[in-house]
Structure 1
Amino acid sequence: MTTSRRQRRPVVVLYERIADAIHRGVWPPGSTLPSEPRLAAELGVSRPALREALLLLQEDGLLSVRRGVGRTVNDAPPRRGYEQLQPLEQLLGSGAPLRVRPVARAEEEPTDFSTQHLHAPAGTELRFWESVLVAEGVAAALSQEWAAPDGVLEAAHPAFARALREPAAPEGSMLAVLAEASREVALTAHSGVTATLLGQRRGEELGRAADTPAVLVTQVVRAGDVPVMAAKHMLPTGSPALPVLQSN
C-alpha cells in the first residue's frame, strides 16, 4: 500500500475514483456509463488514461461492454478487500491479529463525520471507541469507531445494541463486536481510501510526527438499509499493508 497519491500512477487513482463511484451507487448495477468523451470531461482526465482505467475495471469484473450500448456496470460488481467485514486488527495482521489498545470508550455528541454517515440528530450521544492497533510493540494504526444511536440499533440490530451494553469493555474493536453479534444478520459495508497527513493529535497517539504521510480508511456498515456503525482508520507510512485485492 502506498502512502501518497503522488506516488501512484494516475490511472490507478482514476480506477479507484470510478470503482468507488460504482460502489456508492452513482452508477448502479445495470446502468450504462457515459461515453468516453463525456466521462473524461466530467472527471477532468485524458481519454487515454480513462480508457486504460476502464479496461482494468472490465478485467476486474466491475464493467462489461455491450455492442451498441457501451460500458455497463455488472449486476454484482466484486468488492475490494477493505470492504470485507473483517476487523482491521485481523485484516492488517500477518498471521496473528494486531493487538487493540483502547484509548477511549465513551459517549459523545456526533461529529460531522458520524452525523453524515449515521444520520444522527443534533444533541444525540453516540458510543465512540478510539483504539490504537499495535504490531510487535509498535503503534500501527489509529481507529475511531461510532455506533448509531441506541434507538436506531435497538430497531435495526438489537444483538449489536446488547453487545455494546456489556459492562466489560471488549479488548477488540467495535467492528469485531459487530461481526460477532451479526451471525444471523446480513451486513453490508462500504469503504473509502484517501491519502493525508497524521496531524498533531493523531501523531501523538501513534508516536509519529504530525506531517507523517498516512492513509485514511473510512467505513460505513449497514444492517439492511440502516447504517449501524461508522469508522475512520488512520494508517501511517510503515504500517502493515492493507489488502485491497478484488474478492467475490
Structure 2
Amino acid sequence: MTMTVDQFLERDLTTTVGQPLRVAVYSRIAEGIRGHVFPLGSALPRETELGASLGVSRTVVREALMLLEEDGLIVTRRGIGRFVATSIPRVGLEELRPFEQALSDGDRAVSVRPVEFTMQPTTDFVSNKLALDLAANTWFRESVIEQDGEPIAIVQEHFPAGRYLSDVSPAIAENLQAAAEAPATLLAELIERIGPVFGSGVCQIAVNVAGSSRAKLLDLGANDPVLILTQTAELDGTPIYLAKCIVSSRVGHLSVVQASQA
C-alpha cells in the first residue's frame, strides 16, 4: 500500500538529544523526496501546511526548507512556490543507511550475498561499541556486496542477543532471524520490514590492508589496501547496531555531501 503525503508527514518526528527540530523536519522531507512520496519536479505543500502536518512552527519549516534548497533537493520558483528538484544529488556517507545503498553508483547492479549468521560471545571490540558486558552474546551476520557479480565489499553486522536486544526493541528482536535470510544487509531488510530503525548513528573511516581471510572473499591480495567503515547506531540513546564494511578499491570514490552551517 502506497503511503500518501498526509500519512507520511503525520508520522511522529524522531529527534535525538541536542538535535535542532529543523534537522528532524529536514530529514523527514528529504526521506520523502528520496522515497518518491514527493515525486521529482512536484510542488511541495506550503509552509503552513507542512507545519500543521508535522506539528512544528512555520519558522522551523522555513529553516528546514532552506537547508533542503542548499543541498539541492528542492528549488524555489519566485511567486509560485517550492518544488522538488527534477534530479537530486546522490547521497553519500552522511546519512545512516544500508551499505549496499551507500556503495551503489546507480548505474550498475548491486547485490548482497549472505555468508554467515550466528550467535557468538561478545568481543572487546563489540562490547565497547555496543556498551555490553563481556558475558553477553551477540548476533553476527557477514555478507558480501557484489557489483555486477564482482565482490566489492564485506559487511559484518552485530546486534545484541536475548534481553539486551528485546528490551530495547521487541520489533527488531522479532524480525531479526527472518531478516537474516534475505539477500540484503540486516539493516536494509529491517527497514523494509518495520520502517526506519534508528534515530542516529556514527560512521568512522580508516584505511587498512585486506588480510588473508577477507582477501579471499574480495578476490584481493592480502596486502591490498581497503577502506574500513565502522558504523554504530542507537535507538532511544542505546547503541544496538554495529557494522563494519570492508571496501575494495574497485568501488572508486565514496561521497560525503557537505552543506554550510545553518
Normalised by the length of structure 2, the TM-score is 0.60
Percent identity for Structure 1 against Structure 2: 28
How many Å separate the matches in 2 of 1:174 and 1:207? Answer: 23
- Unpaired runs of 5+ in structure 1? 1-27, 30-59, 61-79
Farther-moved stretch of structure 1 (183-192 vs 125-134): 183-192
* Aligned position for 2:226: 214
After superposition, the Cα gap between the structure-2 partners of 1:159 and 1:112, relative to the gap in structure 1 and judged at 3 Å, is same
* Aligned position for 1:86: 97
Match of 2:209 among 197, 202, 217: 197
After superposition, the Cα gap between the structure-2 partners of 1:162 and 1:196, relative to the gap in structure 1 and judged at 3 Å, is same
Q: Deviations over 1:70-117 (max 9, x none)?
A: xxxxxxxxxx94241211111111226521011111111112221111
Runs of 4+ in 1 over 4 A off after TM superposition: none
Structure 2 counterparts to residues 43-58 of structure 1, below 5 A: none
Match of 1:100 among 104, 108, 112: 112
How many Å separate the matches in 2 of 1:161 and 1:169? Answer: 14
How many Å separate the matches in 1 of 2:196 and 2:149? Answer: 36
- The answer (yes or no) to whether the contact 1:160–1:181 under 8 Å persists in 2 is no
Amino acid at match of 1:92: L
* Aligned position for 1:25: none
How many Å separate the matches in 1 of 2:211 and 2:130? Answer: 25
- The answer (yes or no) to whether the contact 2:119–2:161 under 8 Å persists in 1 is no
- The answer (yes or no) to whether the contact 2:179–2:186 under 8 Å persists in 1 is no
- The answer (yes or no) to whether the contact 2:137–2:160 under 8 Å persists in 1 is no
Match of 1:119 among 131, 137, 143: 131
Amino acid at match of 1:126: T
How many Å separate the matches in 2 of 1:196 and 1:169? Answer: 30
Higher relative contact order (CA 8 A, sep 6+): 1
* Aligned position for 2:162: 150
How many Å separate the matches in 2 of 1:172 and 1:179? Answer: 11
How many Å separate the matches in 2 of 1:231 and 1:167? Answer: 15
Does residue 232 of the first structure (1) align with residue 260 of the second (2)? no
Amino acid at match of 2:168: A
Amino acid at match of 2:200: T
* Aligned position for 1:170: 182
Give 1:245 shift: 1.6
- Unpaired runs of 5+ in structure 2? 1-17, 20-69, 71-90
Amino acid at match of 2:209: L
- The answer (yes or no) to whether the contact 1:81–1:246 under 8 Å persists in 2 is no
Normalised by the length of structure 1, the TM-score is 0.63
Structure 2 counterparts to residues 30-49 of structure 1, below 5 A: none
- The answer (yes or no) to whether the contact 2:198–2:233 under 8 Å persists in 1 is no
